[in-house]
Amino acid sequence: MFEKLKGYRVEGNKVYFQYEGENTGKNPCEKNPCEKNPCGKEPCVEVISDSIINVFADYNGLGHRSRAIEWDAQKGNDTSENAKSGKLETVSQDESGVTIKTKKLTAVVGDNFRVDFYDNNGMPLSLAFRGERKERPAISPMMLAFLAKEGHASAGSILGDYPVQEVRALDDADCIYGLGDKTGFLNKRHYMYEMWNTDNPNPQEDNFKALYKSIPFMLVLKEKGAYGIFFDNHSKTYFDMGKEGEEYYVLGAEEGNLDYYFIGGEGLKDVVADYTWLTGRAPMQQLWTLGFHQSRWGYETEEEIRGIAEGMKKHELPCDCIHFDIDYMDSFKVFTWNKETYKDGGKVISDFKDMGIKAVTIIDPGVKVEKDYYVYEEGMENGYFAKTPEGEVYVNEVWPGDAVFPDFGNPKVRTWWGEKQKYLVDLGVAGVWNDMNEPASFRGPLPDDIVFTDEDMAAPHSQMHNIYGHNMAKATYEGWKKLTGKRPFVITRACYGGSQKYTTGWTGDNHSIWAHLRMAIPQLCNMGLSGMSFVGTDVGGFGSDCTPELFARWIQVGCFSPLFRDHAAKGTRMQEPWQFGEEILSISRKYINLRYELLPYIYDLMHECEMSGMPMMRPLVLEYDKDENVKNRNDEFMLGDRILVAPVVEQGAREKLVYLPEGTWYDYWTGEKVEGKSSFIRKAPLDLCPIYVKAGAVIPKYPVRMHVGEDKDDLLILEVYPGEGTYTHYQDNGENFDYHQGGFNTYEIHNHDGQVEVKKQHDGYRDYGKIEVRKSAAFEK
């Protein structure tokens, strides 16, 4: 499309380029041609900050249409405490192209709109690929027919050539992370993925290209330095991470603009911090959301769900939340209550509240087509549902039968949907669980040409699909914030980059299989690297039948996952902790209790995430990105930067090969001292998950409680480990936004080999009743 570079011009922090050969080759907006700006006219490179550069070619003539980046980078009106400044330092041209410098990055733009990036020492970070792409040998039509007869599918060639495309070079040592909740392993190199929110309940394996979420953000760790690319295109996009050819990767899209943000850094933490600054950081949640959640699709009556709450108390299992799946609704109609089987919703929710248990209700986007159903009638009267190209309201089938789909890209629809949450708020519901919002449908997928709204203009489903769940989450979050004044608890199945500003998430309909327990660790870690820090899996698995051993090992992983929810599908084995016998119940109680002890530490990590973007659950490579032994480590993770968890994820295993990075560590259970940069075998009977704590660490704890509201600020325990260390502890009311106006405390804690000094740094909230220092078992060795 772009050929020889002819010249450039500078406007502020933007550099525009003129090329020979504009408007040649494929036209990526053939479906929606425009006259406002001819395709390929004056592509642009813009300095967003000293370490972030945007590369943009306005193929559709509409400029940036991002839903992930919701502050105007061009005007730089981010007034938060995380605001950054970026300045284009110099622009020059020579035979290699146009060189653009910031304090931290250099971009060189040449012929064919190829852009190379270097760090401030002139070392290459990412270069445009200039070689020949590889193609798998073609398969004859006869062989394709044979493959089809035996049930095999093959495209014949894996060469992806897209209307919107970027091909970039890979070095031998490059490792690739991120990309949201994709299947497989931590390092995504040599795999190919699609960004197209997909509801596929089959057991997901490594070869799945798409799941429920589309977060088109990748991080590349190099031998020296790191970088990220956020490919901000809402349509169906493709990430070939070196599968087609070892020497390059391909970013492609079927339509939209070439619009990506290059983020350079010395390490992965720099890249994560800048990406979350760009797209928004996950805000603090209410403290109770970090407790244990119990759920099932199949609690069909009020008596049954009351029995779950009573079972939690009977078996002395702390619990802060029970989730109501679709059975609570009248004929699966959103914002209704099934008074036949669930009777008085307000009463059951109030009784749960008296037990210290919150209620979270599921909500789907599909609105039942039914005369006199108020949600349907209001939406029809105001034109709030998606339409066919001919202007008729589009109808498909979901749980309630024939259903229509709110047009969440329309600000008026989002406001209306937010106001509809009042029905749940008035019942006493504490949070909302958005499901089926890819959007899923039973009579085939929504056609690409179904008409939605993109803020101020019509847009086809092909361009709105990946941000449908994002817009629904935004509507829900803003509605709950306005109605309650509290921090909204919104869970989503589908989302896009930047959704972390509005919602937590879970990995969707997994299965009760060991492969999915193993996959949970890299999946959640990559979600955290992709900005979605507050995430979890369905503990025990959603589909299939969980075994006692699998449940025991999964609850050990769930204990350290940000969102800790046991959830299963109708028709599968009952999966509450007491369903597996006394041994598994005891193990479940042990790790749910441990979760409640660790609540202040996990809450500190949530605060750190809002401030810096660092995820709560982290791959080891985020903390130790110079250690070759952790770049492909899939079966261990960090909770913050002080606790390392090495769970058993293999059936029948009663020992674990553990690797500890550099430094001195202590076994959480025994206090044994272990020097890092070493591997060893740890005995791991069914009730033991290997856990290690850094030397000098301070771990804030609470006494075990049945729910977080029980004596929340009465006692803070500071568990300390041998060595020197400093820790900052954060405290607020755990409910609303008072902390934005200074309503919080911070404590600086110095550990001098067991001698502890606590200083309050900020005083804006009530004090603890007591702060108690306890030496860990490591001091007894």
713 is catalytic: no
Look up 435 and say whether it is catalytic.
yes
Residues 6+ apart with CB under 8 A from 769: 713, 714, 715
The backbone torsions φ and ψ at residue 720, rounded to the nearest 5 degrees and listed phi first, read -115, 155
626-629's contacts with Cβ under 8 Å and 24+ in sequence apart are 627/661, 627/662, 627/677, 629/659, 629/661, 629/677, 629/679
Residue 117: CB atoms within 10 A of its CB come to: 22
Instruction: Pull the structure tokens for residue 460.
Output: 């086809």
The identity of residue 389, as a single letter, is: P
The contacts of residue 344 (CB under 8 Å, 6+ apart) are none
Position 500, amino acid = Q
Catalytic entry in 438, 549, 636, 719: 438
If you search the block for the tokens 């004044």, which residue do you land on? 485
Class of residue 120 by CB neighbours under 10 A (exposed 0-12, middle 13-18, buried 19+): middle
The active-site residue, picked from 254, 320, 325, 509, is: 509
Q: Are 696 and 309 in contact (CB under 8 A)?
A: no
Q: How far apart are CA 440 and CA 601, in angstroms?
A: 37
The candidate with the shortest Cα–Cα distance to 504, out of 485, 524, 519, is 524
Helix (H) or strand (E) holding 604: helix 599-612
Report the alpha-carbon distance of residue 66 to residue 57 in Å, rounded.
14
Residue type at 357?
Answer: I
- The answer to whether the Cα torsion of 281, 284, 290, 293 is positive or negative is negative
Task: Find the farthest-apart pair of alpha carbons in the chain and give their distance in angstroms, rounded.
Answer: 78
What DSSP line would sit under 547-566, residue for residue?
-HHHHHHHHHHHHTSSSEEE
* CA–CA gap between residue 643 and residue 139 (Å, rounded): 51
Residue 275 CA, chain-centre distance (Å), reads 13
Closest CA to 210 of 199, 224, 218, 220: 199
From 274, 325, 435, 636, active-site residue: 435
Q: Give the H or E element holding residue 583.
A: helix 582-597
Q: At what angle do helices 374-382 and 411-420 cross, to 10 degrees?
A: 160
Find all residues with CB under 8 Å of 124, minimum gap 6, and list them: 116, 117, 118
SS3 93: strand
- For residues 152 and 745, what is the distance between their CA atoms, to the nearest angstrom? 61
Q: Distance between CA atoms of 455 and 476, rounded to whole angstroms?
A: 16
Name the β-bridge partners of 164: 253
Instruction: Indicate left, alpha or beta for 47 from its phi (over 0: left) and psi (-120 to 50: alpha).
Output: beta
Number of Cβ within a 10 Å radius of residue 35:
6
Burial state string for 410-444 with b = 16 or more CB within 10 A and e = fewer than 16: beebbebbbebbebbeebbbbbbbbbbbbbbbeee
Any idea which residues carry the catalytic annotation?
435, 438, 509
